[in-house]
Chain A
Amino acid sequence: MRKIFVAFVCSALWTIQPAVSSFAQPPESLSELKATSIDGQTKRFGQFYLVPDVDVASDGFGGYFYSYKDKRGNKTTTNSIDSLPKGLLMAGKPVQVAFNDAATEVPVRVAESRTSQHEVSEPSAHDESGEFEGEIYDPIEPVNRAFFYFNDKLYFWVLKPIAKGYGKVFPEPLRVSVRNFFHNIFMPVRAVNCLLQGKIKGFGTEITRFVVNSTMGVCGFGDAAKTAFDIDKRDEDFGQTLGFYGLGPGIYINWPLLGPSNIRDTVGIVGDGFLNPVNYVEPFKYSLAIKGYDQVNRTSLSLGQYEALKKAAFDPYISLREAYYENRCYKIRK
Chain B
Amino acid sequence: MSINLFRVSLFFFLTLVMALPSLAGQPMEQIRETTDKIISIVGDQALKSPEKAKERKRLIRQAVDERFDWEEMSRRSLARHWKRRTEDEKKEFIYFFGKLLERTYLEQVENYSGEKVLYLNETVDGKGFGDVRIKIITKQETEIPVRYKVKKNGDGWYVYDISVEGRSLINNYRKQFQRMSYKKLIKQLKAKVAQE
Instruction: List residues of A whose CB falls within 8 A of some B CB.
Output: 41-42, 57-60, 98, 100, 119-126, 128-129, 133, 172, 176, 179, 223, 226, 232, 301, 304, 308, 311-315, 318-319, 321-323, 326-327, 329-331, 333
Contacts and interface: CB of A to CB of B under 8 A. Distances in A.
Interface in B68-91: 75-76, 78-80, 82-83
B172 interface: yes
A98 B81 CA distance: 13
Nearest to A317: B176
B177 interface: yes
B179 A42 contact: yes
Contact of A120 (B79, B127, B161, B192): B79
A35 to B, nearest CB: 14
Which range contains the number of B residues in contact with the other chain?
A: 35 or more
B80 A120 contact: yes
A126 B131 CA distance: 11
A60 B176 CA distance: 23
Contact of A329 (B82, B108, B166, B189): B166
B30 interface: no
Interface stretch (B9-17, B41-49, B53-61, B180-188): B180-188
A319 B176 contact: yes
Given A176-B140, A323-B167, A326-B167, A122 B127 contact: no
B167 A327 contact: yes
Contact of B82 (A100, A123, A318): A123
Contacts of A124: 76, 79
A315 B48 CA distance: 34
Contacts of B192: 314
Interface string B160-172: 0101011110111
B175 interface: yes
Tell me which of A59, A98, A232, A318 has the highest count of chain B C-beta atoms within 10 A of its own C-beta: A318
A312 B175 CA distance: 14
Contacts of A329: 166
A113 to B, nearest CB: 15
Interface of B: 75-76, 78-80, 82-83, 100, 104, 107-108, 111, 123, 125, 127-129, 131, 140-141, 143, 149, 151, 161, 163, 165-168, 170-173, 175-181, 185, 188-189, 192
Given A327-B166, A329-B166, 6 more contacts: A41-B179, A42-B179, A58-B127, A120-B80, A125-B76, A313-B176
Contacts of B78: 123
A251 B98 CA distance: 34
A292 B88 CA distance: 52
Given A326-B167, A331-B166, A226 B141 contact: yes
Nearest to A180: B141
Contacts of B141: 176, 223, 226
Contact of A126 (B100, B129, B177): B129
